[in-house]
Chains A and B, each alone.
Chain A
């Protein structure tokens, strides 16, 4: 589908595409986070129960759920078997992998936070996959660390381990909120700037200006307010979509401005046609950019999987800690795959929205900023609800 900059997409549904894309994005995020069930469940600490009607979900969900339980049940048997027969360890690895894939469909493992982050921060698909991998890896490492230190070194009791995990959990949720707040700060300001710019007649001209063109303009003018005339930028459109980022905040990159700009790691997209401080497209993929995702990785990866901890402790009790550790890493591999799939969905939806948005003047930009800001809000809300116990993450085994 060719999109002509400054024009409209071909096709009869062009007018609906943008709202539809926005709805799709929100639906994907909502689906992974605010499942009616999550809210409906009574908070174990005596919170409210909602009165939602039962939603018959049908076979697939139940099947995933049952599979998880089925796989999980087999861990202890296989670990015991590994003691006697080394080849059972391979089955254990296979089981761990499958379990990881199915288990990540349940709560936790950062699906929602990472997906929202990718949407809010205009990340590329590759970046999304890498974030998913690193957070899954970190979860595995944290689980091994917790059990290794607590159980092996300190001979700590289950209660102590539970306490440690609860503490880590709290930190993780707080970090999620912090990540969300930072994003909200940046994207919110960008949204406001986009609102302001809507009102500026000069800015409205030459809507979806392409990055190459904008940078070109910037070289000549001091504030690219007059990059109106290049409506025939044909195949930059895919570039607009692909580097949705740049599309978001084309224009001038920082000279001749009388604003003080702070080049944060999470780039400051004030406005597209106004006084934007857009990072160079290269910057986004560059080394400085990796640190940006680090906060999200840590926030999500900090909380270990309860199942992994149980498996590790059991393996330890059987004298097979390293087998347990290997199993945990393989589980992490499985969860990475599921999370990456969902992250890809989020990135894809966003690119689609950006592509559509790129074709609309002014409002497209506004919509994209709106979606990003919305995603930042989702992250904050998610962290807050987790912290408050209103969303049930995996409950650390304990009583």
Chain B
């Protein structure tokens, strides 16, 4: 009995097979174990200062993308369809906040290399913008102990990069409320994978990506607050 393997493979078939196998190898070898972001969050933040100049916490407004907002608001009863009030969204807000705790609220604060502990959020609620069909979560993230230091570093990111964070307004991403005048704020976003539809990313960008220890960290939003 002879099988197909006995028939001599034409050159073209050989090339095709080789091409397919190469592609398969590439795909097989792709160690991108973290799937791409499924949620996009645009943030606005406020550093909250105490009268003595120490930072007590951060006040956030996280706006979710429309797909996630539609998913999250699925099944919520409303008086008017498509209009969600704060009261309607209250259970969801509670759920969000408690789920976020597991992920450390995606906020990593450090002073001189030492981690700053966070407390459970306060003053939280969800707002729904019916025009853009997006949800915004407002909450205050207090530090366990107010921070008074020369340099405070805050990074906001999802280590698995399931959630993409970016600032709503790069010109004024974070405000400092009640801060001593001499304090300076710098904001950086090393890599931006927040692709708008149709946007192309440069070659150099791809070459920088590394499937490293902390995949999501390379997309982190970094805030540095320096006070003399």
- A171 contacts which chain B residues (CB < 8 A)? none
Contact B74 A313 (CB under 8 A): yes
Distance between A112 CB and nearest chain B CB, rounded to angstroms? 9
Distance between B17 CB and nearest chain A CB, rounded to angstroms? 9
Distance between A2 CB and nearest chain B CB, rounded to angstroms? 10
Contact B205 A62 (CB under 8 A): yes
Distance between B146 CB and nearest chain A CB, rounded to angstroms? 26
Tell yes or no: B5 within 8 A of A by CB.
yes
Distance between A47 CB and nearest chain B CB, rounded to angstroms? 12
Closest A residue to B212 by beta carbon equals A54
- A73 contacts which chain B residues (CB < 8 A)? 40, 195-197
Contact B30 A108 (CB under 8 A): no
Interface residues on chain A, size class:
35 or more
Measured in the bound complex, the distance between the Cα atoms of B36 and A26 in whole Å is 26
Measured in the bound complex, the distance between the Cα atoms of B33 and A35 in whole Å is 7
Contact A160 B75 (CB under 8 A): yes
Contact A54 B103 (CB under 8 A): no
Contact A106 B3 (CB under 8 A): no
Contact B33 A37 (CB under 8 A): yes
Q: Which one, A65, A111, A212, contacts B209 given CB within 8 A? A: A65
- B201 contacts which chain A residues (CB < 8 A)? 66
Tell yes or no: A208 within 8 A of B by CB.
no
Contact A69 B195 (CB under 8 A): yes
Q: Which one, B27, B35, B207, B215, contacts A394 given CB within 8 A? A: B35
Looking at the complex, which of B52-60, B64-72, B111-119, B167-175 is the stretch in contact with chain A?
Answer: B64-72
Known contacts A44-B160, A158-B75, A241-B5; A392/B28 CB under 8 A? no
- A239 contacts which chain B residues (CB < 8 A)? 1-3
Looking at the complex, which of A190-198, A339-347, A363-371 is the stretch in contact with chain B?
Answer: A339-347
Measured in the bound complex, the distance between the Cα atoms of B6 and A242 in whole Å is 10
- B76 contacts which chain A residues (CB < 8 A)? 157
A residues 3-44 near B (Cβ < 8 Å) are 28, 31-32, 35-38, 40-42, 44
- B214 contacts which chain A residues (CB < 8 A)? 40-42, 49
Tell yes or no: B130 within 8 A of A by CB.
no
- A65 contacts which chain B residues (CB < 8 A)? 30, 32, 36, 193, 209
Q: Which one, A37, A76, A235, A395, contacts B32 given CB within 8 A? A: A37
Tell yes or no: A72 within 8 A of B by CB.
yes
A residues 319-335 near B (Cβ < 8 Å) are none
- A41 contacts which chain B residues (CB < 8 A)? 33-34, 159-160, 213-215
- A108 contacts which chain B residues (CB < 8 A)? 35
A-B contact count (CB 8 A): 233
Measured in the bound complex, the distance between the Cα atoms of B33 and A31 in whole Å is 10
Q: Which one, A38, A317, A338, contacts B27 given CB within 8 A? A: A338
Contact A31 B34 (CB under 8 A): no
- A157 contacts which chain B residues (CB < 8 A)? 74-76, 92
Tell yes or no: B188 within 8 A of A by CB.
no
- B3 contacts which chain A residues (CB < 8 A)? 238-239, 242
Measured in the bound complex, the distance between the Cα atoms of B211 and A313 in whole Å is 31
Contact A69 B23 (CB under 8 A): no
Interface residues on chain B, size class:
35 or more
Tell yes or no: A77 within 8 A of B by CB.
yes
Contact B74 A57 (CB under 8 A): no
Known contacts A37-B31, A38-B31, A399-B100; A314/B71 CB under 8 A? yes
Closest B residue to A312 by beta carbon equals B71
B residues 28-55 near A (Cβ < 8 Å) are 28-40
- A69 contacts which chain B residues (CB < 8 A)? 36-37, 164, 193, 195
Tell yes or no: A273 within 8 A of B by CB.
no
Tell yes or no: B102 within 8 A of A by CB.
yes
Tell yes or no: A164 within 8 A of B by CB.
no
Contact B74 A317 (CB under 8 A): yes
Scan A202-240; emit 1 where CB is below 8 A from any B CB, else 0: 000000000010000000000000000000000100110
Closest B residue to A111 by beta carbon equals B28
Known contacts A158-B75, A306-B38, A399-B99; A313/B70 CB under 8 A? yes
- B25 contacts which chain A residues (CB < 8 A)? 28, 345
Contact B71 A37 (CB under 8 A): no
Tell yes or no: A159 within 8 A of B by CB.
yes
| Known interface pairs A36-B31, A61-B31; 6 further A-B residue pairs with C-beta atoms within 8 A, sorted by A's residue number | A37-B213, A41-B215, A56-B212, A62-B208, A238-B6, A397-B68
Instruction: Name 11 A/B residue pairs within 8 A (Cβ), A-sorted.
Output: A35-B32, A37-B211, A40-B213, A55-B210, A62-B207, A107-B33, A158-B92, A313-B71, A342-B24, A394-B38, A395-B35
| Closest CB pairs A-B (n = 9) | A54-B212, A35-B31, A62-B209, A399-B99, A38-B33, A62-B206, A341-B24, A157-B75, A69-B36
